[in-house]
Structure 1
Amino acid sequence: MFVPLKGAWALIFGVSSGMGLEAARALAEAGCGIIGVHFDLAEGRQEAEQHAGELGDLGVAAHFFNRNIASKQARAELVPVIRELTAGAGLRVVVHSVAYGTLTSLLPSPDGREPGTTAKQLAMTVDVMGHSLVYWTQDLLEADLLPRGANIFAMTSTGGTRVLPNYAPVAAAKAVLESHVRHLAVELAPRGVAVNAIRAGTTITPALRKIPGSDQIIAQCREINPGGRLTRPEDVAEAIVTLSSSDSSWLTGNVIGVDGGEALVR
């Protein structure tokens, strides 16, 4: 059964840009209040504040917080705030759209110019992009902020199952993230909470631009995508809004491709 999102609340991690921002915008247009968490320096913080104002102009409440989502202290500070903002009603939607990690190869380059991934870099990347989904789910559940009918979405990529240059730590994080989605889906099923991963196609975002060789990736995927274009953040946002409008928790534990068929031919 489909239910309106007006008056519900959404928690968006990575809300200041890319798919997180577009998901926040689409959910706000559907009537959701937005609680956004991002991690930016001075210029990025100003842009995030501007985006929060734009969402407010849509007629919903929008509250952005600049915090490291992998920080235990950040969770301790924000979970009570979320409870207060939602008046104890909890969250209808949680979107984990986090792109913060090391882009390197695992081993040193043959010429010695690139050192390879360190233990610290690997642990940080997997913790922020993978394990943080579990940390937040644990704390939100303990605070009774995940009511029956809630939907949790984690953003993954084809890099979680394929080898891309300089993507190894992030690929490991995505594989971990997808594993967590499966286990959380089973553990939350009795509570009526759905957990799914969204595997977007190649989408031009600030995160993609940071990947070495991104121009080549973009050109290749634009050429082969059966839909004749790259995936857009709006495509992903539309899928999240559509899935969040269902009161059923029976679609859970999946990796859902939103890519126009790109993964089928890539």
Structure 2
Amino acid sequence: MFVPLEGSWALIFGVSSGMGKETARALAEAGCHIIGVHFDLAEGQQQAEQYAKTVGELGVEAHFFNRNIAAPKTRAELVPVIHDLTSGVGPRVVLHSVAYGTLTSLLPSAPGGGQDQDTVLPEVTPKQLAMTVDVMGHSLVYWIQDLVQASLLPRGAKVFAMTSAGGTRVLSGYAPVAAAKATLESHVRNLAVELAPRGVAVNAIRAGTTITPALEKIPGNQKLIDHCRDINPGGRLTRTEDVAEAIVALSVSDSSWLTGNVIGVDGGEALVV
């Protein structure tokens, strides 16, 4: 059974850029009101505020909050706001698209080492590793816990978490984030099982190589971009629009039977890497 998204709500973490930004637009075009959480400073904050207005011009409500997604006080502040905005129903769609962590190696590296590396990378510190996994991995669990506690995750809701091929592969400078993605995928599986009796589906979306602000921060990203563009069966890189379109398509189903998966949205890239 399929249900229209018009009049429902989406909660998007990482709404100001990349997958989160494009998915907010696509869901809004489908009639879904948007609650967005992002963490930006100065110019980035202004751009996010302008984007909220742009989304609102599509005929829906758009409320963006510039907060640290991983901070307990953010959840304490925003969960009641989510309750009031959604009239106590909660969001139909939750998207965890958070790209905030340390990009480096586990051990000190030198140019020409290991993986065709051409930059010097310092070893990750315990604080950096813990922060990266907490923000990009564990924060999904903490938000779902609070939404469930507040009865704001209704039957038929869809939870999506953005992962990447780097969660199961080794990329130079990506080690802390890879740990976070692996953790995130594990949380998706366990949340899927624990939320199944409530009729809530939880899946990870593994996008293909997509040019986003997060990708551009990865050391040696141009080599990765060139390689993946050359080998993708579709003849191009994945676009944020591809991911947004998939999330909208999956969100209109009222079934919770598609759950606990890592869903590739990559044009077949992972099949030929």
Which residues of 2 match residues 72-87 of structure 1 at below 5 A? 72-87=72-87
Identity of aligned residues (%): 80
Question: Partners in 2 of 1:203 and 1:114 — Cα distance?
Answer: 23
Question: Partners in 2 of 1:125 and 1:165 — Cα distance?
Answer: 16
**What SS does the corresponding residue of 1:94 show, helix, strand or coil?**
strand
Correspondence for 1:244: 251
Which residues of 2 match residues 9-48 of structure 1 at below 5 A? 9-48=9-48
Which residues of 2 match residues 180-199 of structure 1 at below 5 A? 180-199=187-206
> Given the alignment of the two structures, is residue 153 of structure 1 paired with residue 160 of structure 2, yes or no?
yes
Question: Partners in 2 of 1:117 and 1:3 — Cα distance?
Answer: 46
Structure 1 residue identity aligned to 2:11: L
Deviation per residue, 1:78-121 (Å, 9 max, x gap): 00000000011111000000000000000012489543000000
Correspondence for 2:95: 95
Question: Partners in 1 of 2:271 and 2:62 — Cα distance?
Answer: 37
Correspondence for 1:130: 137
Correspondence for 1:212: 219
Correspondence for 2:65: 65
TM-score (norm. length: structure 1): 0.99
**What SS does the corresponding residue of 2:214 show, helix, strand or coil?**
helix
Contact 2:13–2:95 (Cα < 8 Å) also in 1: yes
Question: Partners in 2 of 1:60 and 1:80 — Cα distance?
Answer: 20
> Structure 1's 113 and 160: CA in aligned 2 closer, same or farther, altered over 3 A?
closer
Structure 2 residue identity aligned to 1:106: L
Correspondence for 1:261: 268
Contact 2:10–2:93 (Cα < 8 Å) also in 1: yes
Question: Partners in 2 of 1:220 and 1:110 — Cα distance?
Answer: 23
> Given the alignment of the two structures, is residue 227 of structure 1 paired with residue 272 of structure 2, yes or no?
no
1:259 Cα deviation from its structure 2 partner: 0.1
**What SS does the corresponding residue of 1:206 show, helix, strand or coil?**
coil
Question: Partners in 1 of 2:93 and 2:73 — Cα distance?
Answer: 22
Q: Name stretches of at least 5 consecutive residues in structure 1 with no aligned partner.
A: none
Structure 1 residue identity aligned to 2:177: V
**Which range moves more in the overlay, 105-114 or 207-216?**
105-114
Question: Partners in 2 of 1:152 and 1:119 — Cα distance?
Answer: 30
Q: Name stretches of at least 5 consecutive residues in structure 2 with no aligned partner.
A: 112-118
Moved over 6 A (4+): none
Deviation per residue, 1:108-144 (Å, 9 max, x gap): 1248954300000000000000000000000000011
Contact 2:163–2:206 (Cα < 8 Å) also in 1: yes
Contact 2:121–2:173 (Cα < 8 Å) also in 1: no
Question: Partners in 2 of 1:161 and 1:113 — Cα distance?
Answer: 23
